[in-house]
């Protein structure tokens, strides 16, 4: 199967798109065709989660054998604490929580990044490659990416995060591995600044080829496709137990997670979505007014969503413009030059709505959910919880463990959540460098280090 850049370039295979990460023209890869899964739902529903992932990913790749996909998936999920890997918790008949935080770093990013890390290891082993991974994180991506390639040979990883703008435990997860191939960078700026540097590094062809630059952020199509699997898993579980239409309510920052689910609706999955933001509500304003405008990110109780430039929105634009890559290029050029661009709201998918939750209300939602259901939400999931829709089977995506944000939880409900994997990092020495949000200084550090 071929992969199309949102701006026109073509990758001939999944592995080519995977290895490039960002397309040479600055666009994001999407499959040129999407399989219709409708006739396969019954057979897919019988698979374990690793088997489902292996089967689903094989639809988009014809270079890795199905047997190797099964091995990759099995290895990727062997360290998950939940017996079934994914936990679908029923609170009421029409309200479920899809717990995505039982992986090694207690966040939903583990589901895709464990696959990505093992794919890079596969390429090292089978094709003799060497990689320099560079990523940006607003909290959870960084630790999940690091733990996906921890101590793997011929893979170095540099993770940038905004100084002082992620949760303390998130920073410790990133900076305390002391692994030979892990290099955390504390950036004096925002996540958007760090993400912009990553994109510029990929756009610098000479530099990216010199170090064989690789991507772990959701610009990498493997991240998007691997995340689709848990939506499919939940849908297959619920379609046999409910007559209500299914709606996924998704905490949203960079738009990658919700895009992964939405793509399945183009493969036959009948579901709708709520993109739930915090006070960094650029996406909510976009869907309600049609104006996409650069803003300064505000610090909130849900730091992983403190994002104002959702890079994966470009993939949705591609579909909104019905594959007109020249129109995508013009639109992104206008946005980058002017800082804003207007859309016809009639173009937006009818099965995606948006909502926002104030910083103050995050605390109130955690309180009310605990009182009503005896269930503890992390602050990001709390941005989604108020936006369920009567008449639907609502599935709230729980994207991180409450134990990663103990101070916020304790402030809300006087409970201090813990997890042994987090407690173990508290007294470890940190290893990091601090750099300004300057691409040349970042490039210099990477070159000197490798």
- As to burial, measured by CB atoms within 10 angstroms (0-12 exposed, 13-18 middle, 19+ buried), residue 203 is middle
3-5, strands of its sheet edge to edge: 10-11, 3-5, 29-31
CB 101 within 8 A of CB 108: yes
139: left (phi over 0), alpha (psi -120 to 50) or beta: left
Query: First and final CA of the chain: distance in angstroms?
Result: 34
Q: Helix crossing, 140-148 with 168-175: angle to 10°?
A: 20
- As to burial, measured by CB atoms within 10 angstroms (0-12 exposed, 13-18 middle, 19+ buried), residue 164 is exposed
Active-site residue, 109 included: yes
Which one of the listed residues 20, 109, 152, 199 is annotated catalytic?
Answer: 109
Count, residues in the chain? 450
Largest CA-CA distance found in the chain, in angstroms, rounded: 59
Beta bridge partners of 134: 158
CB 56 within 8 A of CB 225: yes
What positions carry a catalytic annotation?
A: 109
């Amino acid at each position: 199967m071929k992969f199309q850049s949102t701006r026109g370039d073509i990758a001939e295979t999944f592995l080519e798109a995977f290895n490039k990460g960002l397309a040479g023209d600055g666009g994001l890869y999407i499959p040129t065709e999407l399989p219709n899964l409708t006739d396969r739902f019954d057979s897919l529903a019988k698979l374990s989660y690793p088997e489902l992932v292996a089967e689903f990913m094989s639809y988009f790749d014809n270079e890795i054998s199905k047997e190797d996909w099964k091995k990759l998936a099995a290895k990727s999920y062997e360290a998950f604490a939940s017996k079934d890997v994914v936990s679908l918790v029923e609170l009421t008949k029409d309200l479920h929580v899809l717990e995505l935080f039982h992986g090694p770093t207690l966040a939903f990013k583990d589901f895709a990044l464990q696959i990505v890390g093992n794919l890079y290891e596969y390429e090292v082993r089978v094709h003799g490659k060497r990689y320099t991974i560079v990523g940006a994180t607003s909290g959870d991506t960084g630790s999940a990416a690091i733990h996906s390639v921890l101590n793997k040979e011929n893979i170095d990883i540099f993770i940038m995060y905004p100084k002082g703008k992620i949760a303390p435990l998130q920073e410790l997860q990133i900076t305390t591995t002391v692994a030979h191939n892990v290099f955390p960078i504390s950036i004096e700026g925002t996540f958007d600044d760090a993400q912009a540097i990553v994109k510029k590094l990929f756009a610098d062809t000479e530099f990216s080829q010199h170090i064989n630059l690789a991507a772990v952020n959701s610009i990498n199509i493997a991240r998007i496709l691997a995340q689709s699997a848990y939506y499919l898993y939940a849908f297959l579980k619920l379609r046999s137990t409910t007559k209500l239409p299914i709606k996924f309510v998704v905490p949203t920052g960079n738009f990658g997670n919700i895009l992964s689910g939405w793509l399945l609706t183009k493969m036959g999955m009948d579901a709708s979505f709520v993109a739930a933001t915090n006070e960094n509500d650029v996406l909510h304003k976009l869907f309600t007014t049609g104006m996409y405008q650069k803003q300064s990110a505000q610090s909130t109780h849900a730091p992983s969503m403190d994002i104002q430039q959702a890079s994966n929105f470009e993939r949705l634009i591609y579909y909104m413009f019905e594959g007109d890559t020249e129109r995508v290029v013009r639109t992104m050029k206008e946005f980058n030059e002017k800082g804003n661009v207007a859309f016809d709201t009639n173009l937006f998918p009818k099965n995606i709505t948006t909502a926002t939750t104030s910083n103050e209300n995050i605390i109130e939602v955690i309180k009310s959910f605990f009182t009503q259901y005896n269930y503890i939400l992390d602050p990001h999931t709390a941005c989604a919880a108020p936006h369920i829709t009567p008449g639907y089977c609502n599935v709230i995506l729980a994207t991180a463990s409450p134990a990663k944000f103990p101070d916020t939880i304790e402030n809300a409900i006087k409970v201090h959540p813990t997890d042994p994997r987090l407690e173990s990092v508290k007294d470890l020495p940190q290893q990091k460098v601090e750099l300004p949000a300057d691409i040349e200084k970042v490039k210099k550090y990477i070159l000197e280090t490798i």
